[in-house]
Structure formats: structure tokens, C-alpha cells
């Protein structure tokens, strides 16, 4: 079963992206573009 998760920028904490992910113990970390920071930053899974 896949759950909807939200990805937040590590620098400015803005929630920019949402995606579907299977249930895992560790949190997802992806390098994506942040419009607020105007740069590619690490985005982490939030609740």
C-alpha cells in the first residue's frame, strides 16, 4: 500500500512537493529544486 507523503526543504522548511511512497522505516530524502531558496536543496519527508 502506498501513502501520500510531503517533502519539505531542509533550508527554508517550505513544503514544495508531494509524492506517493511505500511504507518504510527510514524517511525519504531527495535533492530537488526549491523556488523559495532558488537552488537545488535536500528535501526530507514530513508528516
State pLDDT tens for residues 1-47. 888 999 999 999 999 999 988 877 788 899 999 999 999 999 999 87
**Do 41 and 1 form a contact (C-beta atoms < 8 A)?**
no
User: For the whole prediction, is pTM greater than 0.95?
Assistant: no
Residue 5 bridge partners (DSSP): 19
pLDDT of residue 10: 94
pLDDT of residue 21: 86
> E strands, 1-47, where?
2-9, 15-22, 29-34, 39-46
Residue 2 bridge partners (DSSP): 22
pLDDT of residue 25: 73
Quote the CATH superfamily of domain 1-44.
Ribosomal protein L33 (2.20.28.120)
User: For the chain, which residues make up each domain, given as ranges?
Assistant: 1-44
pLDDT of residue 23: 75
Amino acid at each position: 500500500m502506498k501513502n501520500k507523503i510531503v517533502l519539505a526543504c531542509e533550508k527554508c522548511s517550505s513544503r514544495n512537493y508531494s509524492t506517493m511512497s511505500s511504507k518504510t522505516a527510514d524517511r525519504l530524502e531527495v535533492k530537488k529544486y526549491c523556488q523559495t531558496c532558488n537552488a537545488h536543496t535536500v528535501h526530507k519527508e514530513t508528516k
